[in-house]
Every structure is written in structure tokens, then in C-alpha cells.
Amino acid sequence: MRRAIALAARGLGTTSPNPVVGCVIVDAAGTVVGEGFHEVAGGPHAEVAALRESGDRARGGTAYVTLEPCAHTGRTGPCAQALVDAGVARVVFAVADPNPQAAGGADVLRAAGVEVSGGLLAAEAALGNEAWLTATRLARPFTTWKYAATLDGRIAAADGTSRWITSGASRADVHALRATVDAVVAGSGTLLADDPHLAVRGDAARPRDRQPLRVVVDTAGRIPAAARVLDTAAPTLLATADDLPPEAAAALAGRVAGRAEILGLPRAADGRGVDLHALNKALFARGVRSVLLEGGPTLAGAYAAAGLVDKVVGYLAPVLLGAGPAALGPAGISSITDALRLTVDEVAAGDRFGGDIRVTARPAPRDSRDGTTPDVRPADGSTPGGNNSAKES
């Protein structure tokens, strides 16, 4: 199962709106005869890929799968039936499928006389599939806020200079992180200050059709025609206010014509910025299940205030500035009792980050009624989902 989890991770960034899934098949003697993972939406699922490799040797064997085999027919057939047809005698899965449109594979297998058990390494498998599981349950993308700062929490010096606070190795790691998500989000402030490219480059680079969607939250439609996010490296979506004056809307359309899609959204309740819940809804409808938030402190604060930060990845350089903007802007926190407290998953350093420190954390669990920090590591993964896209798409 641990091997299947590692295989599943190879599909991060290319399977949405489907989950990442890995499968290992062993024959009746316990020898591995087939491996597979879901590589791209619309392509073969992990079980089918593993069955193709194993051939007749799968008969009487055991399939280890990170997610309950689907019982749904979409662009591909149901994996549960494929396992039955191959003569597999036993199926062990890690996490039950929370999507009602695709769930039920375990029942199909049992009805066909296949021995089925679930829950093996469920926590590990769910963590590797946390974006899809969260999106399926909450009907919104899983959002990771990434930032780079000095040890005293500054993202730029007092004069506004910020290149480069962290090392080249840390920046390369960010590109690898970008390659695992469906969309990268930044705000117009960051765009105007730094002119970021937001595409995956370097060793992690991918062809345009597998690049994450670049999303710029540009409420006032200020993006310049020469902005690097308007090039052909990756698709770009501009999220702006739907009440822009006609002249401003026309000018924006003219500047980005043919190079970006414009999405008009209602303003946030406080009138500052767009409604991030509406943005999430629109992204989810486009098949986006994971977002990397790379905006500046204002946008990051707005996401935090809205309860939309699911994970935090901070790159901290061994540098002190003493002045300059902080990594996080106003987030609706006025007292220490209201602080957004995090649980640290990992602290990593060394040559991989060029002397920097990478901290990975997530909001500590809250009352289950809150709904903003779902537990994606259940014993059996059986939390029901909403009316979401099927596993097969």
C-alpha cells in the first residue's frame, strides 16, 4: 500500500477533477506483477493501468489501491468491474470514496465474491489525496498559502526590494510545488510590484496543457498589457469586480484580448476585493481542486479571514530586516484569543533549500460545525460528499 501511495503522488497536478490514485497488484504467491497510477483525467485509472501490466497473473491475486475502486462509468469504465473481470481474489483499499456518484465499488466487488477490506494506511493515503478529498467534501478547492520571508517575518525591505530573500534552491522547490496544483493565485498588488510569471519553470516545467491555471485577483482591472502572466506559457484567468465602470471594463478587455479570460465576480462584503467564496466556486466549476496562493499580504489576509487556508508552506531565510511589510496582512484577528493557530507537519532545512528553512503547517482542527478545516485523514474516509463531479471524468 505504501508503494501505491507513492505511485499516486505521480499524478499530482494532472488528474483534476479526478483524484490521484495508485495501485499495486500481487499474484497469489505475493509477488508484485503490476503497478499503475492515474496519470491524467480521461486516461486509464490506476487499477486498469496495473491490470494491463499484470495480465493473466492478476487472477487469484490481490490489488492494493489507495482509493476505493470506483463503480461509476464516465470517460472510462468502472474499476471495480475491471478487477472482477480480471479474476482478482482480494482487494485492499486505503480510503473509501466520499463521492456518492463514484462510490460503491466495495459492494460491487463483494457481490462478485471478491474479498474486500478498507482502511489500510488510510491516514497516509488521505494526506496524499488531501486536495481532492477536501474539494469533494466542501465543493471548493483545497488552498495552500505559500510565502517566502525573513526570520523576522518580512517579505520585503522598507524600500520595497524583495529579490531575492530566499535562495535559488527554495525557489526551485516552489516550482516543484506549483507543478502539483491546478491553479496558482496572486493579487494585483503582487502583480504590479513584482510582475511574477506564475508558471512552472525549471526542472519541474510542464507543457502548456499541463501548466496550472494562473489566476490574478485584479479587482480594479489594473493589469498592464506587458504583464508576464499574459504570455503563452500557461492559461490565465483575471478575476475582477463585476461592477467595474464600463470604460474600465472595456480598457481591460482591450489590454488582455486573446491572452486571458476575464471573470467578473461580486465584491466582498466589506467592499474590498472580490468575494473569495465566489472565486472558489467558479474555480471548482472549472475543475480546479487545488490552489497555491502566492499573493501578497493583503490577499493572504483575506483568504485567512475567510477561513479558506487549508495549509501553509513558509520558506524562511536566515535574514533579518527589522522593517518592511509582513507576510500576512489583516486577517480579521484582533486578539491573541482569535489567532489562527497551526499544527506543524514538517520543518525541513539543508542543501535542498540552500540554507533556508521550509515549514509546512495547517490550521489546527476546529469544531466540526465550522467546516473550514476538514479532517482529511479519517479511519475509513467515509465522510459523505456533496453533489460534486464524479471520480470518473
CB contact at 8 A, 234 and 213: yes
Phi, psi of 35, rounded to the nearest 5 degrees = -135, 150
Cα→Cα distances 296→4, 160, 318, Å: 37, 12, 20
Of 35, 47, 294, 392, the catalytic one is 47
For residue 61, what is its C-alpha cell? 491475486
The amino acid at residue 158 is: A
**Whether residue 47 lies in the annotated active site:** yes
Give the type of residue at 305: A
Distance (Å, whole) CA 21 – CA 108? 19
Taking the C-alpha atoms of residue 71 and residue 108, their distance in angstroms, rounded to an integer, is 7
> How many other C-beta atoms are found inside a 10 Å radius of the C-beta of residue 246?
7
C-alpha cell of residue 335: 486578539
Q: List, as one string, the DSSP characters of 209-246.
A: GGSPEEEEE-TT----TT-GGGSSSS-EEEEEETT--H
Rounded to whole angstroms, how far apart are CA atoms 218 and 268? 13
- Cα 251 to Cα 40, 139, 224, 247, 248: the distances in Å are 38, 34, 10, 6, 5
The grid coordinates listed for 24 are 499495486
CA distance 2 to 113: 26
How many angstroms separate the CA atoms of 16 and 270, rounded?
33
Whether 139 and 284 have beta carbons less than 8 Å apart is answered as yes
Helices (H), the chain: 2-8, 46-54, 79-85, 105-111, 122-128, 130-138, 168-178, 188-194, 246-256, 276-285, 297-305
Residue 176 DSSP SS3: helix
- What does the alpha-carbon distance between residue 292 and residue 145 come to, in Å, rounded to a whole number? 6
Distance CA 376, CA 133 (A): 7
- Contact status, residue 312 vs residue 145, Cβ threshold 8 Å: yes
State the catalytic residues. 47
